[in-house]
Chain A
Amino acid sequence: MTYSDADLLAYLAGTAAEEMSAGIEAALALDPALEDRLMTLDPLASTIGDALDGLGADRVTLPAQKQSRRIWPLAVAACAGAAIVATVVLWPAPQTTRPWMDQVAAYQALYSPATIANVTPTQEGLAAQFAQLDTALGTQLPLDALQTATTLELRRAQILAFENAPLGQIVFADDTGRPVALCLIRTDSPGRDTATFELHGLNGAAFTQGGFDYLVIGATTRQEAEALANQFSRALAAS
């Protein structure tokens, strides 16, 4: 069946009979010329196309490809033993995260329960580690509050670095010995509510408050990561 321009205009206006509309839509899949005619006759096409022409020009640029970056430990906690240095490849991460979070997740993915199995800190030892964090980051992290904020057991704290900026890593163990880390780095970004994601196979949650980005990484589920992040957030805010 052939359709006149008037038929097609009625279809586009929504006034064509139901049978004709069905016929036109069935024919579209088989008739590229009919498709062309409809597109040409559509009264809104040029109105909208012209109005939005230029939208998005110069908005984004091509991102940098894979890069090799290093996470270097600046100081080694006595209880931890030798420092772990990892060269990691930056993979595209969910864009609700920051680049440093992707690096930390890749580093944390190297951890196993065995990594912290023999880490049995004293309270004095943890206080000394937290003092190192505070000196490097310019913080007053509440050791007692972070120890009791969740059911995790605080095992170790150390300073790492990302692109020469100090990065704090506080490692906990859950009741199965699984390592979970709370990491922080200074930021100029405004506060952000908790967001969850998966990085390098690990469940994580991130939030921003008080001039720092925080990352909880290594939880059993994303829901747990979010719950832990919220608990840490409250403990930090209350101190």
Chain B
Amino acid sequence: MKAKIYITLKNGVLDPQGQATQVALGHLGFGDISNVRQGKFIELELGEKDQKKAERIVSDICEKLLANTVVENYRFELIATHK
């Protein structure tokens, strides 16, 4: 099973890196861009084949390590792989 995990900042948390990226886009001529927020994308594979069990494992992984739940949200997709 493959997991694609998206970690994003919660609304209201200041994102100066997103703001800097937005400024850089302005310098490149992309003027009408707003609300740039940056996050993380993490992929991993797990041996668990059961969808529900895999969801619980990946949630656990996100809660325990991949996301800092003080300031970050997470969501993920699971894709069955054929080994």
| A in complex with B | no
